[in-house]
């Protein structure tokens, strides 16, 4: 049996602005891992959590080939914001 899916949210205002979206993910058995910092995550911080992540709601963090190489389960990434 496959384990629960995990979504990393690096956007710092997600819990405040998107309570319903977070609840919807959790209701569908998706673990939401949130950025514990009040700033974009560094490469080192992403490296610590990205290896078993299935999806990302990204803030303004830097996402490059080095990060993607560490994320073999990553299926989708979405940039949080408007514009």
What domains lie within the chain, and their CATH numbers?
Answer: 5-79 (3.40.50.720)
Which of 28, 39, 30, 34 shows the shortest CA–CA distance to 57?
Answer: 34
pLDDT digits (tens, 9 = 90+) for 10-51: 999 898 899 999 999 999 999 999 999 999 999 999 999 999
**Global model pTM greater than 0.85:** yes
> Could you count the other beta carbons within 10 Å of the beta carbon of residue 59?
18
């Amino acid at each position: 049996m496959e384990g629960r899916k995990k979504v990393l949210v690096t956007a710092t205002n997600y819990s405040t602005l998107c309570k319903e979206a977070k609840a919807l993910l959790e209701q569908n058995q998706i673990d939401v891992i949130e950025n514990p910092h009040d700033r974009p995550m560094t490469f080192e911080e992403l490296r610590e959590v990205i290896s078993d992540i299935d999806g990302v709601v990204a803030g303004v963090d830097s996402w490059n080939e080095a990060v993607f190489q560490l994320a073999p389960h990553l299926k989708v990434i979405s940039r949080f914001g408007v514009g």
